[in-house]
A and B are shown apart, each in its own frame.
Chain A
Protein backbone atom coordinates (compact mmCIF):
# COMPACT_ATOMS: atom_id res chain seq x y z
CA UNK A 1 0.00 0.00 0.00
CA UNK A 2 1.22 3.48 -0.89
CA UNK A 3 2.28 5.55 2.12
CA UNK A 4 -0.28 8.24 1.48
CA UNK A 5 -3.04 5.62 1.16
CA UNK A 6 -1.95 3.99 4.40
CA UNK A 7 -2.14 7.42 6.00
CA UNK A 8 -5.79 7.75 4.89
CA UNK A 9 -6.63 4.38 6.43
CA UNK A 10 -4.96 5.52 9.64
CA UNK A 11 -6.99 8.71 9.57
CA UNK A 12 -10.24 6.83 9.02
CA UNK A 13 -9.51 4.65 12.04
CA UNK A 14 -10.66 7.70 13.96
CA UNK A 15 -14.02 7.92 12.17
CA UNK A 16 -16.51 5.92 14.20
CA UNK A 17 -19.70 4.16 13.16
CA UNK A 18 -22.53 6.60 13.96
CA UNK A 19 -24.63 3.86 15.57
CA UNK A 20 -21.83 1.89 17.29
CA UNK A 21 -19.35 4.53 18.46
CA UNK A 22 -16.72 2.01 19.64
CA UNK A 23 -15.89 0.72 16.15
CA UNK A 24 -14.16 2.64 13.37
CA UNK A 25 -15.25 2.42 9.75
CA UNK A 26 -11.90 0.78 8.92
CA UNK A 27 -12.36 -1.93 11.56
CA UNK A 28 -15.94 -2.46 10.43
CA UNK A 29 -14.43 -3.37 7.06
CA UNK A 30 -16.44 -0.97 4.92
CA UNK A 31 -13.50 1.08 3.60
CA UNK A 32 -12.63 -0.82 0.44
CA UNK A 33 -10.09 1.40 -1.24
CA UNK A 34 -8.53 4.78 -1.81
CA UNK A 35 -7.82 6.24 -5.24
CA UNK A 36 -5.97 9.46 -5.92
CA UNK A 37 -6.87 12.38 -8.11
CA UNK A 38 -3.60 14.31 -7.93
CA UNK A 39 -3.45 15.39 -4.32
CA UNK A 40 -7.05 14.49 -3.47
CA UNK A 41 -8.11 11.11 -2.10
CA UNK A 42 -11.21 9.30 -3.31
CA UNK A 43 -12.37 6.98 -0.55
CA UNK A 44 -14.57 4.05 -1.50
CA UNK A 45 -17.04 2.57 0.93
CA UNK A 46 -19.29 -0.48 0.71
CA UNK A 47 -22.57 -0.79 2.64
CA UNK A 48 -23.02 -3.42 5.36
CA UNK A 49 -26.68 -3.73 4.31
CA UNK A 50 -28.24 -2.28 1.13
CA UNK A 51 -30.86 -0.53 3.24
CA UNK A 52 -28.52 0.80 5.93
CA UNK A 53 -29.72 4.34 6.73
CA UNK A 54 -26.39 5.23 8.39
CA UNK A 55 -24.59 5.06 5.05
CA UNK A 56 -25.08 8.71 4.02
CA UNK A 57 -23.99 9.83 7.49
CA UNK A 58 -20.84 7.70 7.17
CA UNK A 59 -20.02 9.24 3.78
CA UNK A 60 -20.45 12.67 5.31
CA UNK A 61 -18.29 11.87 8.35
CA UNK A 62 -15.48 10.62 6.11
CA UNK A 63 -15.75 13.69 3.92
CA UNK A 64 -15.60 16.03 6.91
CA UNK A 65 -12.60 14.20 8.35
CA UNK A 66 -10.69 14.47 5.07
CA UNK A 67 -11.53 18.17 4.74
CA UNK A 68 -10.44 18.81 8.32
CA UNK A 69 -7.17 17.06 7.57
CA UNK A 70 -6.32 19.54 4.85
CA UNK A 71 -7.57 17.93 1.64
CA UNK A 72 -9.30 20.59 -0.47
CA UNK A 73 -11.42 18.41 -2.65
CA UNK A 74 -11.75 14.86 -1.30
CA UNK A 75 -14.28 12.45 -2.76
CA UNK A 76 -16.27 9.74 -1.00
CA UNK A 77 -18.43 7.24 -2.80
CA UNK A 78 -20.28 4.04 -2.04
CA UNK A 79 -20.46 1.08 -4.38
CA UNK A 80 -21.16 -2.63 -4.39
CA UNK A 81 -17.89 -3.41 -6.18
CA UNK A 82 -16.68 -5.18 -3.06
CA UNK A 83 -19.60 -6.84 -1.27
CA UNK A 84 -19.24 -6.50 2.48
CA UNK A 85 -19.61 -9.56 4.66
CA UNK A 86 -19.18 -9.89 8.41
CA UNK A 87 -15.83 -11.72 8.09
CA UNK A 88 -14.42 -8.36 6.97
CA UNK A 89 -14.65 -6.95 10.51
CA UNK A 90 -11.12 -6.82 11.99
CA UNK A 91 -10.10 -8.50 15.26
CA UNK A 92 -9.95 -5.07 16.81
CA UNK A 93 -13.42 -4.40 15.45
CA UNK A 94 -14.85 -7.59 16.96
CA UNK A 95 -13.50 -6.53 20.36
CA UNK A 96 -14.96 -3.04 19.87
CA UNK A 97 -18.42 -4.49 19.20
CA UNK A 98 -18.23 -6.47 22.40
CA UNK A 99 -17.18 -3.36 24.28
CA UNK A 100 -20.39 -1.73 23.07
CA UNK A 101 -22.37 -4.68 24.49
CA UNK A 102 -22.95 -6.37 21.14
CA UNK A 103 -22.00 -10.01 20.69
CA UNK A 104 -19.58 -10.08 17.73
CA UNK A 105 -20.56 -12.21 14.71
CA UNK A 106 -18.99 -15.67 14.48
CA UNK A 107 -16.73 -16.21 11.43
CA UNK A 108 -18.67 -18.00 8.72
CA UNK A 109 -17.67 -20.21 5.83
CA UNK A 110 -19.82 -18.50 3.21
CA UNK A 111 -23.24 -19.70 4.35
CA UNK A 112 -25.42 -19.05 7.38
CA UNK A 113 -27.92 -21.41 8.96
CA UNK A 114 -30.14 -21.00 11.99
CA UNK A 115 -27.89 -23.02 14.28
CA UNK A 116 -25.02 -20.58 13.65
CA UNK A 117 -27.24 -17.78 14.92
CA UNK A 118 -28.22 -19.68 18.04
CA UNK A 119 -24.66 -20.42 19.12
CA UNK A 120 -23.66 -16.96 20.30
CA UNK A 121 -21.69 -16.16 23.46
CA UNK A 122 -23.26 -13.63 25.82
CA UNK A 123 -21.26 -10.37 25.62
CA UNK A 124 -21.89 -9.77 29.34
CA UNK A 125 -20.93 -13.10 30.96
CA UNK A 126 -19.42 -15.07 28.02
CA UNK A 127 -21.76 -18.01 28.56
CA UNK A 128 -22.86 -19.91 25.46
CA UNK A 129 -26.06 -20.96 27.23
CA UNK A 130 -28.03 -18.46 25.17
CA UNK A 131 -30.99 -18.51 22.85
CA UNK A 132 -31.86 -16.38 19.84
CA UNK A 133 -35.17 -14.54 20.19
CA UNK A 134 -35.28 -13.15 16.68
CA UNK A 135 -32.82 -12.69 13.82
CA UNK A 136 -34.17 -9.16 13.32
CA UNK A 137 -33.31 -6.36 15.72
CA UNK A 138 -33.39 -2.60 16.26
CA UNK A 139 -31.09 -2.09 13.25
CA UNK A 140 -30.63 -4.28 10.17
CA UNK A 141 -27.25 -5.53 11.39
CA UNK A 142 -28.43 -6.80 14.78
CA UNK A 143 -30.28 -9.85 16.11
CA UNK A 144 -31.79 -10.28 19.59
CA UNK A 145 -30.84 -12.95 22.10
CA UNK A 146 -31.35 -14.01 25.70
CA UNK A 147 -28.72 -15.35 28.09
CA UNK A 148 -30.00 -18.19 30.23
CA UNK A 149 -26.95 -17.92 32.46
CA UNK A 150 -26.98 -14.26 33.53
CA UNK A 151 -30.63 -13.67 32.53
CA UNK A 152 -29.93 -10.65 30.39
CA UNK A 153 -31.34 -9.87 26.99
CA UNK A 154 -28.59 -8.86 24.57
CA UNK A 155 -28.06 -7.96 20.94
CA UNK A 156 -25.62 -9.52 18.52
CA UNK A 157 -24.07 -8.16 15.35
CA UNK A 158 -25.39 -10.52 12.68
CA UNK A 159 -23.13 -12.76 10.63
CA UNK A 160 -23.75 -11.92 6.97
CA UNK A 161 -22.39 -13.72 3.92
Chain B
Protein backbone atom coordinates (compact mmCIF):
# COMPACT_ATOMS: atom_id res chain seq x y z
CA UNK B 1 0.00 0.00 0.00
CA UNK B 2 0.96 3.63 -0.56
CA UNK B 3 2.37 5.17 2.62
CA UNK B 4 0.68 8.36 3.76
CA UNK B 5 2.37 11.12 5.72
CA UNK B 6 1.04 9.64 8.95
CA UNK B 7 2.52 6.24 8.08
CA UNK B 8 5.91 7.84 7.54
CA UNK B 9 5.61 9.76 10.83
CA UNK B 10 4.75 6.50 12.57
CA UNK B 11 7.67 4.78 10.96
CA UNK B 12 10.02 7.49 12.19
CA UNK B 13 8.57 7.34 15.69
CA UNK B 14 9.12 3.58 15.74
CA UNK B 15 12.69 3.84 14.43
CA UNK B 16 13.60 6.63 16.86
CA UNK B 17 12.44 4.79 19.94
CA UNK B 18 14.18 1.56 18.95
CA UNK B 19 17.42 3.32 17.99
CA UNK B 20 17.44 5.52 21.11
CA UNK B 21 16.85 2.51 23.39
CA UNK B 22 19.81 0.75 21.81
CA UNK B 23 22.11 3.77 21.87
CA UNK B 24 21.40 4.58 25.51
CA UNK B 25 21.52 1.01 26.79
CA UNK B 26 24.65 0.46 24.68
CA UNK B 27 26.23 3.38 26.51
CA UNK B 28 25.14 2.09 29.91
CA UNK B 29 26.47 -1.39 29.11
CA UNK B 30 29.82 0.14 28.17
CA UNK B 31 30.06 1.60 31.67
CA UNK B 32 30.83 -1.96 32.86
CA UNK B 33 33.98 -1.99 30.73
CA UNK B 34 36.82 -2.38 33.21
CA UNK B 35 34.41 -2.78 36.14
CA UNK B 36 32.74 -6.13 35.56
CA UNK B 37 32.66 -8.46 38.59
CA UNK B 38 34.71 -11.04 36.65
CA UNK B 39 36.67 -10.65 33.43
CA UNK B 40 34.18 -12.64 31.34
CA UNK B 41 31.33 -10.38 32.44
CA UNK B 42 33.36 -7.29 31.72
CA UNK B 43 33.82 -8.59 28.17
CA UNK B 44 30.19 -9.71 27.86
CA UNK B 45 28.75 -6.28 28.70
CA UNK B 46 31.35 -4.56 26.53
CA UNK B 47 30.47 -6.83 23.59
CA UNK B 48 26.76 -6.31 24.07
CA UNK B 49 27.42 -2.56 24.19
CA UNK B 50 29.18 -2.78 20.82
CA UNK B 51 26.34 -4.82 19.30
CA UNK B 52 23.77 -2.31 20.51
CA UNK B 53 25.67 0.68 19.16
CA UNK B 54 26.02 -1.09 15.80
CA UNK B 55 22.30 -1.84 15.76
CA UNK B 56 21.37 1.73 16.70
CA UNK B 57 23.58 3.00 13.86
CA UNK B 58 21.74 0.77 11.36
CA UNK B 59 18.42 2.21 12.57
CA UNK B 60 19.65 5.83 12.50
CA UNK B 61 20.78 5.17 8.92
CA UNK B 62 17.24 4.10 8.03
CA UNK B 63 16.03 7.36 9.57
CA UNK B 64 18.56 9.25 7.49
CA UNK B 65 17.13 7.59 4.37
CA UNK B 66 13.73 8.93 5.48
CA UNK B 67 15.12 12.46 5.55
CA UNK B 68 16.45 12.79 9.12
CA UNK B 69 19.95 14.11 9.81
CA UNK B 70 23.06 11.91 9.64
CA UNK B 71 23.52 9.42 12.50
CA UNK B 72 26.32 11.30 14.32
CA UNK B 73 24.31 14.51 14.46
CA UNK B 74 21.19 12.68 15.59
CA UNK B 75 23.08 10.73 18.26
CA UNK B 76 25.29 13.48 19.65
CA UNK B 77 23.45 16.79 19.34
CA UNK B 78 20.00 16.19 20.81
CA UNK B 79 19.00 17.05 24.37
CA UNK B 80 17.15 14.67 26.67
CA UNK B 81 13.67 15.95 25.73
CA UNK B 82 14.37 14.96 22.11
CA UNK B 83 15.16 11.35 23.00
CA UNK B 84 12.51 8.64 22.79
CA UNK B 85 14.10 5.85 24.83
CA UNK B 86 12.25 4.30 27.75
CA UNK B 87 13.32 5.04 31.33
CA UNK B 88 14.56 1.48 31.83
CA UNK B 89 17.61 2.00 29.62
CA UNK B 90 18.65 5.38 31.03
CA UNK B 91 18.85 4.31 34.68
CA UNK B 92 22.40 4.13 36.07
CA UNK B 93 24.02 0.68 36.01
CA UNK B 94 23.55 0.33 39.76
CA UNK B 95 24.64 -2.94 41.30
CA UNK B 96 25.25 -5.91 39.01
CA UNK B 97 21.91 -7.45 39.97
CA UNK B 98 20.03 -4.45 38.57
CA UNK B 99 22.06 -4.44 35.36
CA UNK B 100 21.33 -8.16 34.90
CA UNK B 101 17.59 -7.76 35.53
CA UNK B 102 17.43 -4.84 33.08
CA UNK B 103 19.42 -6.85 30.53
CA UNK B 104 17.04 -9.81 30.93
CA UNK B 105 13.86 -7.73 30.54
CA UNK B 106 15.12 -5.51 27.74
CA UNK B 107 16.76 -8.15 25.58
CA UNK B 108 13.79 -10.50 25.70
CA UNK B 109 11.59 -7.60 24.60
CA UNK B 110 14.02 -6.71 21.81
CA UNK B 111 14.31 -10.33 20.66
CA UNK B 112 10.51 -10.53 20.31
CA UNK B 113 10.24 -7.05 18.79
CA UNK B 114 12.75 -7.76 16.04
CA UNK B 115 11.33 -11.23 15.41
CA UNK B 116 7.95 -9.53 14.81
CA UNK B 117 9.62 -6.95 12.58
CA UNK B 118 11.26 -9.57 10.38
CA UNK B 119 7.90 -9.63 8.61
CA UNK B 120 7.49 -5.86 8.45
CA UNK B 121 6.18 -4.49 5.17
CA UNK B 122 8.87 -1.80 5.39
CA UNK B 123 11.83 -3.49 3.76
CA UNK B 124 14.55 -1.53 5.56
CA UNK B 125 13.19 -2.68 8.91
CA UNK B 126 12.69 -6.31 7.93
CA UNK B 127 16.26 -6.45 6.56
CA UNK B 128 17.95 -5.16 9.70
CA UNK B 129 15.67 -7.27 11.90
CA UNK B 130 16.83 -10.44 10.18
CA UNK B 131 20.40 -9.31 10.79
CA UNK B 132 19.86 -8.48 14.47
CA UNK B 133 18.32 -11.88 15.25
CA UNK B 134 21.60 -13.77 15.46
CA UNK B 135 23.18 -11.05 17.59
CA UNK B 136 20.33 -10.68 20.08
CA UNK B 137 20.24 -14.46 20.54
CA UNK B 138 23.59 -14.23 22.30
CA UNK B 139 22.26 -11.48 24.56
CA UNK B 140 19.18 -13.39 25.72
CA UNK B 141 21.24 -16.56 26.22
CA UNK B 142 23.61 -14.61 28.44
CA UNK B 143 20.78 -13.10 30.48
CA UNK B 144 19.06 -16.47 30.91
CA UNK B 145 22.25 -18.16 32.06
CA UNK B 146 22.76 -15.59 34.83
CA UNK B 147 19.14 -15.69 35.95
CA UNK B 148 19.55 -19.42 36.31
CA UNK B 149 23.00 -19.37 37.94
CA UNK B 150 22.06 -16.82 40.57
CA UNK B 151 18.83 -18.62 41.43
CA UNK B 152 20.92 -21.68 42.28
CA UNK B 153 23.63 -19.71 44.07
CA UNK B 154 23.13 -18.66 47.66
CA UNK B 155 20.06 -17.35 49.45
CA UNK B 156 21.54 -13.91 49.09
CA UNK B 157 22.07 -14.21 45.34
CA UNK B 158 18.51 -15.35 44.80
CA UNK B 159 17.03 -12.68 47.10
CA UNK B 160 19.04 -9.96 45.41
CA UNK B 161 17.93 -11.06 41.95
CA UNK B 162 14.30 -11.16 43.08
CA UNK B 163 14.49 -7.62 44.41
CA UNK B 164 16.26 -6.46 41.23
CA UNK B 165 13.44 -8.06 39.20
CA UNK B 166 10.89 -6.22 41.34
CA UNK B 167 12.72 -2.91 40.88
CA UNK B 168 13.28 -3.27 37.12
CA UNK B 169 9.80 -4.56 36.24
CA UNK B 170 7.82 -1.26 36.38
CA UNK B 171 10.62 0.36 34.38
CA UNK B 172 10.51 -2.49 31.86
CA UNK B 173 6.78 -1.98 31.35
CA UNK B 174 7.69 1.49 30.04
CA UNK B 175 9.21 -0.22 26.98
CA UNK B 176 5.68 -0.78 25.73
CA UNK B 177 4.39 2.80 26.08
CA UNK B 178 2.19 3.28 23.05
CA UNK B 179 2.90 5.86 20.41
CA UNK B 180 0.58 8.08 18.45
CA UNK B 181 0.60 5.95 15.31
CA UNK B 182 -0.03 2.38 16.54
CA UNK B 183 -3.10 1.97 14.31
CA UNK B 184 -1.36 3.29 11.19
CA UNK B 185 1.67 1.05 11.69
CA UNK B 186 -0.55 -1.97 12.12
CA UNK B 187 -2.75 -1.11 9.16
CA UNK B 188 0.28 -0.75 6.88
CA UNK B 189 1.78 -4.03 8.10
CA UNK B 190 4.83 -2.21 9.45
CA UNK B 191 4.52 -3.26 13.10
CA UNK B 192 1.88 -5.19 15.02
CA UNK B 193 2.13 -2.80 17.94
CA UNK B 194 3.35 -2.43 21.49
CA UNK B 195 0.34 -4.17 23.05
CA UNK B 196 0.94 -7.36 21.04
CA UNK B 197 4.64 -7.21 21.87
CA UNK B 198 3.95 -6.72 25.57
CA UNK B 199 1.67 -9.78 25.73
CA UNK B 200 4.26 -12.04 24.14
CA UNK B 201 6.97 -10.62 26.35
CA UNK B 202 5.01 -11.09 29.58
CA UNK B 203 4.48 -14.73 28.73
CA UNK B 204 8.13 -15.26 27.84
CA UNK B 205 9.70 -13.59 30.88
CA UNK B 206 7.13 -15.09 33.24
CA UNK B 207 7.92 -18.63 32.00
CA UNK B 208 11.64 -18.06 32.14
CA UNK B 209 11.55 -16.66 35.69
CA UNK B 210 9.17 -19.34 36.97
CA UNK B 211 11.61 -22.05 35.81
CA UNK B 212 14.14 -20.72 38.29
CA UNK B 213 11.78 -20.06 41.19
CA UNK B 214 11.51 -16.29 40.82
CA UNK B 215 8.21 -14.41 40.89
CA UNK B 216 7.25 -11.82 38.30
CA UNK B 217 5.16 -9.07 39.94
CA UNK B 218 1.62 -8.71 38.61
CA UNK B 219 1.64 -6.11 35.85
CA UNK B 220 -1.67 -4.73 37.13
CA UNK B 221 -0.21 -4.06 40.58
CA UNK B 222 2.62 -1.80 39.50
CA UNK B 223 2.81 1.61 37.85
CA UNK B 224 4.69 1.47 34.56
CA UNK B 225 7.41 4.10 34.10
CA UNK B 226 5.91 6.04 31.20
CA UNK B 227 6.90 9.24 29.46
CA UNK B 228 10.22 8.30 27.90
CA UNK B 229 8.72 7.74 24.45
CA UNK B 230 7.37 11.30 24.53
CA UNK B 231 10.58 12.96 25.65
CA UNK B 232 9.95 13.07 29.41
CA UNK B 233 12.96 11.61 31.18
CA UNK B 234 14.49 11.05 34.59
CA UNK B 235 17.36 13.20 35.85
CA UNK B 236 19.76 10.46 34.72
CA UNK B 237 19.55 10.92 30.96
CA UNK B 238 21.02 14.39 30.39
CA UNK B 239 24.29 13.67 32.30
CA UNK B 240 24.65 10.49 30.21
CA UNK B 241 24.17 12.48 26.99
CA UNK B 242 26.71 15.10 28.12
CA UNK B 243 29.28 12.41 28.74
CA UNK B 244 28.50 10.47 25.56
CA UNK B 245 28.85 13.53 23.33
CA UNK B 246 31.82 15.09 25.11
CA UNK B 247 34.41 14.16 22.48
CA UNK B 248 32.06 15.01 19.59
CA UNK B 249 31.35 18.45 21.09
CA UNK B 250 35.05 19.36 21.31
CA UNK B 251 35.26 19.37 17.52
CA UNK B 252 32.02 18.45 15.74
CA UNK B 253 33.64 18.69 12.32
CA UNK B 254 36.59 16.43 13.11
CA UNK B 255 37.44 13.92 10.42
CA UNK B 256 38.37 10.55 11.93
Contacts and interface: CB of A to CB of B under 8 A. Distances in A.
A50 B51 contact: yes
B47 interface: yes
Given A136-B47, A140-B51, A83 B138 contact: no
Contacts of A133: 40
B40 A50 contact: no
A83 B40 contact: no
Given A49-B51, A80-B131, A136 B138 contact: yes
A83 B131 contact: yes
Interface string B51-87: 1111101100000000000000000000000000000
B145 A85 contact: no
B137 to A, nearest CB: 6
A80 B127 contact: yes
B134 A160 contact: yes
A83 B130 contact: yes
Contact of A135 (B46, B127, B141): B141
A2 interface: no
A51 interface: yes
A75 to B, nearest CB: 17
Nearest to A79: B127
A152 to B, nearest CB: 17
Nearest to B46: A136
Interface in A109-134: 111-114, 133-134
Contacts of A53: 50
A32 to B, nearest CB: 12
A140 B55 CA distance: 13
B126 to A, nearest CB: 9
B91 interface: no
A53 B50 CA distance: 9
A112 B51 contact: no
Contact of A51 (B53, B127, B145): B53
A74 B142 CA distance: 42
A113 B137 CA distance: 9
29 contacts: A49-B135, A50-B51, A50-B55, A50-B57, A50-B128, A51-B57, A79-B127, A80-B58, A80-B127, A80-B128, A80-B131, A81-B127, A83-B130, A85-B134, A114-B141, A134-B40, A134-B43, A135-B44, A135-B138, A135-B141, A136-B46, A136-B138, A136-B142, A138-B43, A140-B51, A144-B40, A158-B138, A161-B134, A161-B137
The 10 A-B pairs at the shortest CB distance, nearest first, are namely A51-B54, A50-B54, A160-B134, A134-B40, A136-B47, A161-B134, A80-B127, A51-B50, A136-B44, A83-B130
Interface of B: 40, 43-44, 46-48, 50-55, 57-58, 127-128, 130-135, 137-138, 141-142, 145
Interface of A: 47, 49-53, 79-81, 83-85, 111-114, 133-138, 140, 144, 158, 160-161
